[in-house]
Amino acid sequence: MTEKPSKQYFFLMPLIWLAAYIDTRKFSLRIDKSGIKGLKPPYLVIATHQGPADYSAAPLALFPHRGIYVSDMEGFAYYGKWLYRGLGCIGKRRFVSDITVVKNMKRALMMKQPVVVYPESRHSNVGTTAYIPKNLGKLCKFMDVPVVIFTLYGSYLANPFWDELNTRKLPLEGRIYKLYDREKVRSLSAEEIQSSVEDALRYDEYKYQLDKKIMITEPDRAKGLHKALYICRKCGARYRMQSAGDTLSCTSCDSRFRLREDGYLEDVTTRLPENAAEDDMHAGVKGEDTGRKLYMIPDWYEWERELEIERAKSQIESGSFGMEYNVRVEALPGQQGFVRLGKGMLALDENEFTVSFGKEVLHFPHRIRESVQTEYDYRGIRGQCIVLSTKDCCYYLYSDDEDFNPTELQFLGEWLFVRACDKRG
């Protein structure tokens, strides 16, 4: 992480572009590059991070220029330091402030390279924009180069985070364009740039699906959805949701929700009467073709967030807030790979996360960590976890406890960060 950035190795570039082209052909990828016509490096690319296809689309969006990418340390461990640096990657740890990363980005721009950063720092949980750091405006001012936005629509739909290893074939559309030239960056305030960047990074993959009339017909299209939608919309039970085939179901009240080909979740448990009152809809809509309640996955997800925040507020006021889980701890100190540290405990209170294993006790205060990295099925073999990091190490925390849900911990972690910042004034 402290080493100066390296340009993408010139002899790898034909292979990178060819591999990216081959990987995206199944999606009939189209990228609108008219918005950067004539733009030459250096410039800063701020990209959305819907899903895995983003990695292949970015080199094609930058072609014929090389690029340098701000990337998580996990990539160095998986691909090896030589290759990952050869692909143009700068190491960082997610949701950890580190001036070294900023300095390396600046150095890369001074090397006349485009620098690509994914500020969401993870793939989208439910196809909408994740937490955006509030320092992007200041970052743009410090870099002092043109600011470019890149978005790849359909990337999440092709590989939803809750079932990322199974690919759905559908059309992808990319758009890359200049948001500000250098002079405009200099003339605007950091707050003005921040607001514009946040607006530019907003996306909704399910709206894209409806607008483009994309039908996802895979028979197992709902598999894994319970990892994101873990609270029943009908009975409110937590951790009782299951998913298989095209159906999300609740083992507490036996409700069933079918993920339709058009992206709606349809309540197939009961049919609504013709005169159903709006209060009975539970924020759903009535399907004109079926007479059943329809839900959008992002709406359900945000409903869960509001529910968790309200419950946390109430518990903090009553002095009963706190969670504790049995975990398996794996550390990622560097490119050498993971170190298994054995069993431990993960605790959450209103001030911090605490991780203990053996004789070690690690503290992760909410006030210095903007969000929580979630993994729904890490590498397809390790299962669900959250990741808490310091500048020197990432700690992957897995749990088999029935009430362990990474989405819930992410909701709480983000809200507790905002709460801690508000208390600081």
Residue 200 near residue 136 (C-beta atoms within 8 A):
no
Tell whether 265 and 392 lie within a shared domain. Answer: no
Tell whether 207 and 242 lie within a shared domain. Answer: no
pLDDT at 279: 45
Tell whether 26 and 111 lie within a shared domain. Answer: yes
Boundary residue ending a domain (163, 184, 211)? 211
d(CA 71, CA 8): 14
Residue at 284 is within a domain: yes
Hey, what are 390's tokens?
């310091």
pLDDT at 278: 46
Which amino acid is it at 200? A
CATH of the domain at 412: 2.30.29.30
Range of the domain at 251: 225-300
Residue at 341 is within a domain: yes
d(CA 27, CA 8): 26
Tell whether 338 and 286 lie within a shared domain. Answer: no
Tell whether 110 and 139 lie within a shared domain. Answer: yes
pLDDT at 424: 63
Tell whether 207 and 251 lie within a shared domain. Answer: no
Residue at 316 is within a domain: no
Domain total of the chain: 3
Q: What is the pTM of this model?
A: 0.92
Tell whether 283 and 328 lie within a shared domain. Answer: no
Residue at 338 is within a domain: yes
Tell whether 189 and 118 lie within a shared domain. Answer: yes
Residue 158 near residue 166 (C-beta atoms within 8 A):
no
Tell whether 45 and 149 lie within a shared domain. Answer: yes
Tell whether 350 and 271 lie within a shared domain. Answer: no
Residue at 202 is within a domain: yes
pLDDT at 57: 97
Tell whether 255 and 187 lie within a shared domain. Answer: no
Residue 340 near residue 382 (C-beta atoms within 8 A):
no
Residue 81 near residue 401 (C-beta atoms within 8 A):
no
Q: What is the pLDDT along the chain (425 residues), one digit of tens a residue?
A: 778 888 888 999 999 999 999 999 999 999 999 999 999 999 999 999 999 999 999 999 999 999 999 988 877 877 788 888 888 899 888 888 889 999 999 999 999 999 999 999 989 999 999 999 999 999 999 999 999 999 999 999 999 999 999 999 999 999 999 999 999 999 999 999 999 999 999 999 999 999 999 999 999 999 999 999 999 999 999 999 999 999 999 999 999 999 999 999 999 997 655 555 444 445 566 666 666 899 999 999 999 999 999 999 999 999 999 999 999 999 999 888 899 999 999 999 999 999 999 999 999 999 999 999 999 988 777 789 999 999 889 999 999 999 999 999 999 999 999 999 887 64
- The side-by-side arrangement of strands in the sheet containing 30-35 is 30-35, 173-180, 147-153, 44-47, 115-117, 68-72, 89-92
Residue at 158 is within a domain: yes
Residue at 314 is within a domain: no
The residue whose two tokens read 């729904």 is: 376
Tell whether 135 and 94 lie within a shared domain. Answer: yes
Residue 266 near residue 276 (C-beta atoms within 8 A):
no
d(CA 106, CA 278): 54
pLDDT at 285: 65
Boundary residue ending a domain (184, 211, 238)? 211
180-218, pLDDT tens digit by residue? 999 999 999 999 999 999 999 999 999 999 999 999 999
Residue at 220 is within a domain: no
